[in-house]
């Protein structure tokens, strides 16, 4: 029994067995020489790293290490900078070695800044470049499309984490804008190409995609669920288009809605009556070759160039398991389930009298909360109005602080935009303005709505 108790005592107090050495590690606060208790200490060697042992109230801890080896004793405390010492343990040493680690206290937590609602703060600024466009990556970091003095002389991509620029790369072609695909991945649109953006760790890279392929097969897909894709056949030169759903399980297509401006379509087709004989013969020849109506050929090539033609705008959004379609030509907000089955509809009025209200033919969805806002602008003052997706009614009115902001994006109850004061030498900065309310995050649509490029 005595031998058993002796063995237990030796194990409990960490006495070294043959081929082992005991290290007495002492952790000291360098600023006041006080012992640091509950500090995790460990050792590492070529064979690996030991488990943490915590110091007592006197700042002491015992480590049993192999003899005749070089080990690194370290302490990684949450409130101190990491400290370490390299020790060589001689073989056959019976006494305990004392190792003192001096720790430097550091501030662990960054200060939390509370900004008032409605007052913008500068999120990114530079004395060298202006921010032309920006997008969020799925991990919350940002990609900035920038230029120095003139976009035509070159554009650059920055990977930005909200505090510092992690990577800068120059683009071979002039970047026009950033858009997201249906998976939420940003792309750079240039005159001839589309560049897919990929970020790994602190490095951002781009890969070239065929622009025609992207615009034909990728951009029309506005969202995807587990088993459905939602896409449109939108054409900027035709006053009608359809939304479809595609089922990945049974490879079935289904038209869920048709958008048409009936008055615009009547004017579009009637343009054929007023063109000369040569143009009518040209359109008739194309009709025979392609099967597309001669009136459509004339409308697409002539009426779209007039001041009377306006592209259709009927965006589709998703929040949780519901799909919302804003048909501004039937004055309806249609709601579908995630399979494309129509649930119901409510009237909408936010787009009425756009010359009086200043409606900018733009709806923006918060990328995190799913709330939808309508954009208005009068004499430079931009105002957002939230749309209730249950009733279609307009709710809160939120005027932005600066006049004439560019590229407005909403995410996590914050409005982001670029802005440069008029008649100043300041570069175009990126601003962040908090909304006067807070909605919880939810599942939302990932892709940008299809526009003309």
For the cut 80, the answer to whether the pLDDT of residue 252 exceeds it is no
For the cut 80, the answer to whether the pLDDT of residue 122 exceeds it is yes
Give the model confidence (pLDDT) of 48-79 as tens digits.
788 889 999 889 999 888 887 888 999 988 77
Q: Cα–Cα distance between 373 and 384 in angstroms, integer?
A: 6
Strand partners, 344: 335
More confidently predicted of 253 and 177: 177
Answer yes or no: are the C-beta atoms of 160 and 141 closer than 8 Å: yes
> Can you give the residue ranges of every domain in the chain?
2-103
Average pLDDT, the chain: 86
pLDDT tier for residue 109 given thresholds of 50, 70 and 90? very low
Short-list 238, 235, 233, CA closest to 255: 233
Give the model confidence (pLDDT) of 275-304 as tens digits.
999 999 999 999 999 999 999 999 999 999
Please give the pLDDT value at position 18: 54
Residue 254, SS3?
strand
Please give the pLDDT value at position 404: 93
Residue 418, SS3?
strand
- HEC profile of 359-387: EEEEEEECCCCCCEEEEEEECCEEEEEEE
Q: What are 272-280's contacts with CB under 8 Å, separation 24+?
A: 272/298, 272/299, 275/302
Q: What is the mean pLDDT of residues 184-191?
A: 87
For the cut 80, the answer to whether the pLDDT of residue 23 exceeds it is yes
Strand partners, 252: 247
Q: What is the mean pLDDT of residues 403-426?
A: 93
CATH number of this structure's domain 2-103: 2.60.40.10
Give the model confidence (pLDDT) of 138-167 as tens digits.
778 899 999 998 888 889 999 998 889 999
Short-list 328, 342, 170, CA closest to 254: 342
Q: Cα–Cα distance between 118 and 336 in angstroms, integer?
A: 34
Q: Picking from 189-193, 305-309, 407-411, which range would have the lowest pLDDT averaged per residue? A: 189-193
Give the model confidence (pLDDT) of 337-386 as tens digits.
888 889 999 999 999 999 889 999 999 999 999 999 999 999 999 999 99
pLDDT tier for residue 448 given thresholds of 50, 70 and 90? low
Q: Cα–Cα distance between 35 and 14 in angstroms, integer?
A: 21
What is the secondary structure of 96-131 as a DSSP string? PEEEEEEE-B---SPPPPPPPTT--EEEE--SS-EE
Q: What is the mean pLDDT of residues 264-272?
A: 95
Q: Cα–Cα distance between 265 and 304 in angstroms, integer?
A: 11
DSSP 220: T
pLDDT tier for residue 12 given thresholds of 50, 70 and 90? very low
Residue 300, phi-psi category: left (phi > 0), alpha (psi -120 to 50), beta (remainder): alpha
Q: Cα–Cα distance between 242 and 76 in angstroms, integer?
A: 60
More confidently predicted of 34 and 261: 261
Q: What is the mean pLDDT of residues 189-215?
A: 84
For the cut 80, the answer to whether the pLDDT of residue 451 exceeds it is no
């Amino acid at each position: 029994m005595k031998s058993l108790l002796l063995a237990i005592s030796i194990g409990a107090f960490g006495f070294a067995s043959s081929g082992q050495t005991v290290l007495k590690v002492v952790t000291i606060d360098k600023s006041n020489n006080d012992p640091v208790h509950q500090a995790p200490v460990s050792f590492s060697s070529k064979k690996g790293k030991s488990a943490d042992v915590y110091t007592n109230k006197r700042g002491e801890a015992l480590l049993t290490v192999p003899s005749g080896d070089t080990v690194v004793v370290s302490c990684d405390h949450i409130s101190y900078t990491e400290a370490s010492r390299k020790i060589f343990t001689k073989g056959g040493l019976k006494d305990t070695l004392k190792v003192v680690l001096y720790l430097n206290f550091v501030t662990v937590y960054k200060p939390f800044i509370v900004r008032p609602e409605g007052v913008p703060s500068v999120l990114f600024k530079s004395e060298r470049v202006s921010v032309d466009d920006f997008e969020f990556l799925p991990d919350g970091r940002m990609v900035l499309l920038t230029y120095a003095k003139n976009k035509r002389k070159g554009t650059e991509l920055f990977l930005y984490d909200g505090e510092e620029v992690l990577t800068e790369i120059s683009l071979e072609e002039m970047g026009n804008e950033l858009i997201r695909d249906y998976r939420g991945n940003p792309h750079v649109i240039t005159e001839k190409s589309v560049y897919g953006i990929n970020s790994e760790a602190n490095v951002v890279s781009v890969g070239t995609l065929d622009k025609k392929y992207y615009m034909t097969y990728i951009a029309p897909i506005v969202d995807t669920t587990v088993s459905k894709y939602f896409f449109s056949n939108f054409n900027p030169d035709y006053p009608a288009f359809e939304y479809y759903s595609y089922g990945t399980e049974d490879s079935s297509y289904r038209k869920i809605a048709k958008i048409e401006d009936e008055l615009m379509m009547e004017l579009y087709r009637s343009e054929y009556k007023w063109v000369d004989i040569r143009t009518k013969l040209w359109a008739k020849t194309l009709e025979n070759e392609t099967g597309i109506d001669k009136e459509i050929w004339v409308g697409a090539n002539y009426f779209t160039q007039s001041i009377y033609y306006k592209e259709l705008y009927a965006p589709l959004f998703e929040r949780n398991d519901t799909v919302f379609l804003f048909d501004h030509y039937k004055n309806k907000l249609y709601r579908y389930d995630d399979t494309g089955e129509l649930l119901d509809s409510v009237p909408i009025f936010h787009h009425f009298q756009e010359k009086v209200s200043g409606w900018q033919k733009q709806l923006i969805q918060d990328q995190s909360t799913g709330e939808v806002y309508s954009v208005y602008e009068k004499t430079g003052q931009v105002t957002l109005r939230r749309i209730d997706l249950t009733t279609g009614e307009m709710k809160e009115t939120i005027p932005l602080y600066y006049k004439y902001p560019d590229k407005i994006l909403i995410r996590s109850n914050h409005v982001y935009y670029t802005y440069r004061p008029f008649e100043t030498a300041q570069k175009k900065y990126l601003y962040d303005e908090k909304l006067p309310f807070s909605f919880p995050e939810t599942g939302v649509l990932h892709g940008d709505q299809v526009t003309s490029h």
